[in-house]
Amino acid sequence: MALIVEPKKSCAVNPLKMSQPLGATYAFLGLDSCVPTMHGSQGCTAFGLVLMVRHFREAIPLQTTAMNEVTTILGGLENIEQAIVNIRKRNHPRIIGLCSTGLTETKGDDVDGYLQLIRARHPELDDTAIVYVSTPDYVGAFEDGFSKAVSALVKTLVEPTPHTIPNQVNVLAGWHLTAGDIDELREIFCAFGLDAIVLPDVSGSLDGHIPDDWLGTTLGGTTLESIREMGASALTIAVGEQMRSAAMELEMRAGVPYVLFDRLTGLGPNDQLLQTLSELSGRAVPDKYRRQRSQLLDAMLDGHFFFGHVKVAIAAEPDLLWSMGNFLAEMGADLTVCITTTKSPLLSRLPTNEVVIGDLEDFERAALATGCDLLLTHSHGRQAAQRLGKPLYRIGLPLFDRLGNAHTVNIGYRGTRNLVFDIGNLLLSHAAHHQPDSWPLPASSLAVLSLPPTPDAAQPAAPACGNGSCACTE
Amino acid sequence: MSTMLKQKLDQVFDEPGCDKNQAKDAKERKKGCSKQLTPGAAAGGCAFDGAKIALQPIADVAHLVHGPIACEGNSWDNRHSASSGPQIYRTGFTTDINELDVVYGGEKRLFKAVREIIEKYDPPAVFVYQTCVTALIGDDIEAVCRRASEKFGKPVIPVNAPGFAGSKNLGNKLGGEALLDYVIGTREPEYTTPYDINIIGDYNLVGELWQVKPLFDALGIRILACISGDGRYNDIACSHRARAAMMVCSKAMINIARKMEERWGIPFFEGSFYGISDMSNTLRQIARLLVARGAPDDLLVRTEKLIRVEEARANERIRAYRERLAGKRVLLITGGVKSWSVVSALQESGLEVVGTSVKKSTKEDKERIKDIMGDDAHMIDDMTPREMYAMLRDARADIMLSGGRSQFVALKARMPWLDINQERHHAYAGYEGMVELVQEIDKALFNPVWAQVRCPAPWDDAASQAKLPQERLGSPQLPAMTLATGIGLH
């Protein structure tokens, strides 16, 4: 039972957190033929755009209602109207995903009302779905924004259907699943003869491929038609606690029951997933996955030596923290420092003493004070890693100093196995090397023989970093 | 908008140093410099972004963003301004205001945040940035900063450039205003020399200043302050004692240069470090200004000697590439000063510039392009990504040089691309930088991946597959290269 701590600081230092509208935008980026749009000043969009571009190394379609001070005070109806009409004219998206920002929420724009007016004035917009979600910057974090956007998608677009397609399954994929993770999941479903509708599906849009033409919209992802078909699925599988509200919404609207997996990294959760799919499809677990399970067991046996009682500091959004934290704990590591961005019912159940809703200053200071030997957070942790001289394993988003972030696979037996190897190798390359003076006798023992204490007995060993062997690239 | 900010905007929009601004009538001028943004078709940063870009390179200062998490949390640590010492400028500080702050006001939180920073990090100064939300709820950051300065005995500088005030360029200027109002001229240097200059508007991206500084060092010219690349609070506070100033990067910080001339009689010129002849002109201008202000006139002779030897050294190194690059066509999508300064640089290496964007350029910038390129046929006012993509895909250009945001337009068209904006990882200033730029262009153009990625998969290209000689089919790479480059292997 972990204690949830919120430090009483007035100044966040080295933020871990990103804003709600960015999370909502990311969810919209997983839709096909979509232009996510932030209702705010153009800087809100520019910052989000740069961050996404740096992480994915892809063109990111992202628009703004370009509010200024006067339009903010007078209300954003005209700006939203112009933005939607312009986007439709220039980019021809099927879906426009609109989210509010701190600026327009402070003023209190009635966007739902505006949209009704705009629809009435512009019949040409009838072919464009518009999904709106309220995401003030000063409330919650990235994960909350993502969660709200997926709920809004379900609420706005899913319809009850008279029929059920028995082998069709919905997958609500939390933001912490990469394009690679979603591909892996789809393959698993396929192996049981199940068709998965994944929402949102960044494996179609942000998997780094070369389209035949330049489009001003997303390049793939969940289509509007398949979202509308979600009501006909036999089951919804929600991945991540953040997807619970959308899964419940889907059940209420269309009567599709759901199963929630709070994580899919680690042995146990994947056993449960395959068991669930096997029961649903009436098929035995394919040999391929029996083999992969066996490989994971072997990897865990080979790797556990290096994880045992390693003190770990993790800073991540709640669902990713839950996923990685439990995995590391199951490998024998100690979750010494846990930092997150926003509240979640999972936090108190983490196998650690306390979870701090904080920033990377809290992370760095706590890791130093407790002597952590492994750090996990996004790329902004590189400064802390360098100062602490400890290895950093990069997780989450943004990862702007690594290639191929979309294709990392951390779920399933195969993804978990890779994780054991990747983190295990990082620990291996930072294994402590002992020196002749690693074990000095304490002054009390020497005193018995009337000898002076060893001169640098009190000095801690120099950090391993600085010779280029460490992963903290700068 | 606070009356103070409103006055400031009126001031900034009336810029005697800017011809474009002066050419407008009073009514036009009131509208400001930035074009009206089109909702749904806008790109680019806000005024806060601009102010932060302009001031964050001051390396020993804590930069505190007063606003919700988006403004700092989504953007920190994303530029490559280099520091030769302090690293605190890379630390992200924000008040991360919550819903209660929006309702009750965030001034108390801001004051406490300043205190926390001073207690924990003890920087020589704290810069406080206003943002949209805190401006809208009426937080008076000037008052909080004044109180904090008194209380903690340290400069706490308000930077009043909320995002919704306007564009990034306006933010650059408002950042400059903060320095003029609160920093420059507040301290005296330990000593001065007749060779003291200020560099205004250089951000030392990827350490570019260090490609130029050795030239100044060799001539005995001291950079009293760089505003703001690798800057120090104290140096900038003392910068009013410089003898001359150079303004880099077009008009972004012209207000600083002009007002320092007005207040302290520091003459300035607009120059560039990009391109060999531009670099030489810059050195000449600085020497001339310093001599005019009383420096011994042997500086002119020494400058010419250095220019001669350094130009020769650079040209010799570039000549090695001229043959390979001659006739290769460049599409240049950037803005302001780079729309012309880079053009001349590229021409020096034998490249042909088939287009340069002038969307963010001033009238003067455009005149210079005309001078350099002969006519205005190659000026591109506004090019949509789609048009750029088409131009590259149809091979009307061989390489695109632009900022990071449009890189995928080139890469998805399977065309070489080079980053020349602030996110870049290579330094292109001075004689050294030119050699590096040419080297990078060469590296990009002649990378073997282009031939491979442009070659269709064999099953997509039945015609060429039929033509392939049987014995080659076993080795997929060779025919691919053959097809793409058009060079026969027989």
Contacts of B344 (CB under 8 A, 6+ apart): B275, B277, B278, B372
From chain B, the residues in CB contact with A54 under 8 A are 78, 404, 423
For residues A220 and A449, give the distance between their C-alpha atoms in angstroms, rounded to a whole number: 76
Note whether A44 and B44 are within 8 A (CB): no
From chain B, the residues in CB contact with A137 under 8 A are 68-71, 133
User: Dihedral, CA atoms, B289, B292, B295, B297, nearest 10 degrees?
Assistant: 100
For residues B178 and A21, give the distance between their C-alpha atoms in angstroms, rounded to a whole number: 30
Lowest mean pLDDT among B253-257, B311-315, B352-356: B352-356
Please report which confidence band the pLDDT of residue B489 belongs to, taking 50, 70 and 90 as the band edges. very low
Instruction: Tell if the CB–CB gap between A103 and B163 is shorter than 8 Å.
Output: yes
Instruction: Tell if the CB–CB gap between A68 and B91 is shorter than 8 Å.
Output: no
Lowest mean pLDDT among A66-80, A88-102, B237-251: B237-251
How far lies B462's CA from each of A348, B467, B489, in Å? 61, 9, 20
Instruction: Tell if the CB–CB gap between B132 and A103 is shorter than 8 Å.
Output: yes
Give φ, ψ of B272 to 5 degrees.
-140, 145
* pLDDT of the residue at B462: 62
- Report the relative pairing of strands B156-159 and B126-130 from DSSP bridges: parallel
* pLDDT of the residue at A464: 46
For residues B55 and B228, give the distance between their C-alpha atoms in angstroms, rounded to a whole number: 6
* Stretch 281-300 of chain A: residues touching chain B, C-beta under 8 Å: none
The CATH architecture that domain B322-448 belongs to is 3-Layer(aba) Sandwich (3.40)
Given B67, B116, B137, which is nearest A9 (Cβ)?
B116
Distance in Å, alpha carbon of A84 to nearest chain B alpha carbon: 6
Q: What is the mean pLDDT of residues B450-467?
A: 76
* Stretch 82-141 of chain A: residues touching chain B, C-beta under 8 Å: 82-87, 90, 101-103, 106-107, 136-139, 141
User: Dihedral, CA atoms, A68, A74, A76, A81, nearest 10 degrees?
Assistant: -110
* pLDDT of the residue at A468: 44
* pLDDT of the residue at B486: 38
For residues A151 and A139, give the distance between their C-alpha atoms in angstroms, rounded to a whole number: 17
Please report which confidence band the pLDDT of residue B66 belongs to, taking 50, 70 and 90 as the band edges. very high
Lowest mean pLDDT among B43-57, B118-132, B184-198, B239-253: B239-253
Q: Is the pLDDT of residue B474 over 60?
A: no
Instruction: Tell if the CB–CB gap between B77 and A380 is shorter than 8 Å.
Output: yes
Note whether B55 and B161 are within 8 A (CB): no
Cβ of B457 under 8 Å from any chain A Cβ?
Answer: no
Instruction: Tell if the CB–CB gap between B412 and A43 is shorter than 8 Å.
Output: no
Instruction: Tell if the CB–CB gap between A59 and B412 is shorter than 8 Å.
Output: yes
Q: Is the pLDDT of residue B212 over 60?
A: yes
* pLDDT of the residue at A146: 98
Please report which confidence band the pLDDT of residue B409 belongs to, taking 50, 70 and 90 as the band edges. confident
* Stretch 110-149 of chain B: residues touching chain A, C-beta under 8 Å: 110, 112-117, 120, 132-133, 135-137
Q: Is the pLDDT of residue B404 over 80?
A: no
| DSSP-derived secondary structure letter, B352 | E
Please report which confidence band the pLDDT of residue A453 belongs to, taking 50, 70 and 90 as the band edges. confident
* Stretch 386-425 of chain B: residues touching chain A, C-beta under 8 Å: 386, 389-390, 404-405, 408-409, 412-414, 423
Given B97, B386, B412, which is nearest A216 (Cβ)?
B386
Instruction: Tell if the CB–CB gap between A66 and B42 is shorter than 8 Å.
Output: yes
Lowest mean pLDDT among A124-128, A254-258, A326-330, B318-322: B318-322
Mean pLDDT over the full length of chain A: 93
Given A9, A47, A214, which is nearest B70 (Cβ)?
A47
Distance in Å, alpha carbon of B439 to nearest chain A alpha carbon: 23
- pLDDT tens digits along A415-425: 999 999 999 99
From chain A, the residues in CB contact with B72 under 8 A are 12, 15
Q: What is the mean pLDDT of residues B196-200?
A: 96
Instruction: Tell if the CB–CB gap between A65 and B39 is shorter than 8 Å.
Output: yes
* Stretch 367-396 of chain A: residues touching chain B, C-beta under 8 Å: 380, 383
For residues B86 and B58, give the distance between their C-alpha atoms in angstroms, rounded to a whole number: 9
Strand order across the A374-377 sheet = A3-5, A354-357, A334-340, A311-315, A374-377, A392-394
Residue of B nearest to A106 (CA): B133
* Stretch 245-284 of chain B: residues touching chain A, C-beta under 8 Å: none
* pLDDT of the residue at B169: 86
Q: How many C-beta atoms surround the C-beta of residue A467 within 10 A?
A: 7
* pLDDT of the residue at A347: 97
**3-state class (DSSP) for residue B202:** strand
Given B73, B136, B386, which is nearest A15 (Cβ)?
B73
Q: Is the pLDDT of residue A177 over 70?
A: yes
Q: Which residues of A69-152 form beta strands (DSSP E)? A: 95-100, 129-133
From chain A, the residues in CB contact with B39 under 8 A are 64-66, 79-80, 82-83, 86
* pLDDT of the residue at B484: 40
Q: Is the pLDDT of residue B58 over 50?
A: yes
Mean pLDDT over the full length of chain B: 86
Q: Is the pLDDT of residue B481 over 60?
A: no
Assign 3-state DSSP to chain B and report helix, strand, coil percentages, each to 5: 50, 15, 35
Size of interface A-B (CB pairs under 8 A): 218
Cβ of A208 under 8 Å from any chain B Cβ?
Answer: no
Using CA of residue A345, residue A350, residue A356, residue A362, what is the dihedral sign?
negative
* pLDDT of the residue at B482: 39
From chain A, the residues in CB contact with B99 under 8 A are 136, 138-139
What ipTM is given for this predicted complex?
A: 0.91
* pLDDT of the residue at A232: 97
For residues A254 and A99, give the distance between their C-alpha atoms in angstroms, rounded to a whole number: 25
Note whether A104 and A72 are within 8 A (CB): yes
Lowest mean pLDDT among A111-115, A303-307, B72-76, B345-349: B345-349
Instruction: Tell if the CB–CB gap between B69 and A90 is shorter than 8 Å.
Output: no
Q: Tell the CATH superfamily of the A20-139 domain.
A: Nitrogenase molybdenum iron protein domain (3.40.50.1980)
Q: B356 vs B432, which has greater pLDDT?
A: B432
Q: What is the mean pLDDT of residues A314-330?
A: 98
| Residue A182 identity (one-letter amino acid) | I
Whether domain B196-314 has CATH 3.40.50.300: no
Q: Is the pLDDT of residue B36 over 80?
A: no
- pLDDT tens digits along B435-447: 898 899 999 999 9
Helix ranges (DSSP H) in B183-232: 209-219
Whole-number percent of chain A with pLDDT over 90: 87
Residue of B nearest to A88 (CA): B40
Q: B379 vs B185, which has greater pLDDT?
A: B185
Contacts of B189 (CB under 8 A, 6+ apart): B196, B224, B238, B241
Q: What is the mean pLDDT of residues A166-175?
A: 97
Give φ, ψ of A452 to 5 degrees.
-75, 150
From chain B, the residues in CB contact with A7 under 8 A are none
Q: Which of B80, B164, B206, B460 to mutate to test the interface with A (most CBs of A within 10 A)?
A: B164
Strand order across the B352-357 sheet = B379-380, B352-357, B329-333, B399-402, B417-419
Q: What CATH number labels B3-182?
A: 3.40.50.1980
Cβ of B46 under 8 Å from any chain A Cβ?
Answer: yes
Token readout for B315 is 């040209």
Q: What is the mean pLDDT of residues B318-324?
A: 85
* Stretch 392-431 of chain A: residues touching chain B, C-beta under 8 Å: 400
Instruction: Tell if the CB–CB gap between B98 and A102 is shorter than 8 Å.
Output: no
Cβ neighbourhood burial of A212 (10 Å; 0-12, 13-18, 19+): exposed
Q: Which of A57, A69, A368 to mutate to test the interface with B (most CBs of B within 10 A)?
A: A69
Q: What is the mean pLDDT of residues A81-99?
A: 96
Please report which confidence band the pLDDT of residue B221 belongs to, taking 50, 70 and 90 as the band edges. very high
Cβ of A242 under 8 Å from any chain B Cβ?
Answer: no
* All structural domains of chain B with their residue ranges: 3-182, 196-314, 322-448, 451-485
Q: What is the mean pLDDT of residues A463-474?
A: 46
Categorise residue A50: left if φ over 0, alpha if ψ from -120 to 50, beta otherwise. alpha
Q: Where in chain A is the domain with CATH 3.40.50.1980?
A: 20-139, 165-281, 292-429
Distance in Å, alpha carbon of B111 to nearest chain A alpha carbon: 9
From chain A, the residues in CB contact with B30 under 8 A are none
Residue of B nearest to A400 (CA): B78
- pLDDT tens digits along A144-164: 999 999 999 999 999 999 999
Assign 3-state DSSP to chain A and report helix, strand, coil percentages, each to 5: 45, 15, 35
Q: How many C-beta atoms surround the C-beta of residue A47 within 10 A?
A: 27
The CATH architecture that domain A292-429 belongs to is 3-Layer(aba) Sandwich (3.40)
Q: B25 vs B206, which has greater pLDDT?
A: B206
Note whether A352 and A2 are within 8 A (CB): yes
Categorise residue A214: left if φ over 0, alpha if ψ from -120 to 50, beta otherwise. beta
| DSSP-derived secondary structure letter, B34 | S
Cβ of A15 under 8 Å from any chain B Cβ?
Answer: yes
* pLDDT of the residue at B32: 61
Q: What CATH number labels A165-281?
A: 3.40.50.1980
Residue of B nearest to A40 (CA): B164
- pLDDT tens digits along B278-302: 899 999 999 999 999 999 999 999 9
Given B90, B113, B164, which is nearest A68 (Cβ)?
B164
Instruction: Tell if the CB–CB gap between B69 and A53 is shorter than 8 Å.
Output: no
Which among A117-121, A158-162, B168-172 has the top mean pLDDT? A117-121
Whole-number percent of chain B with pLDDT over 90: 55
pTM of the predicted protein model: 0.91
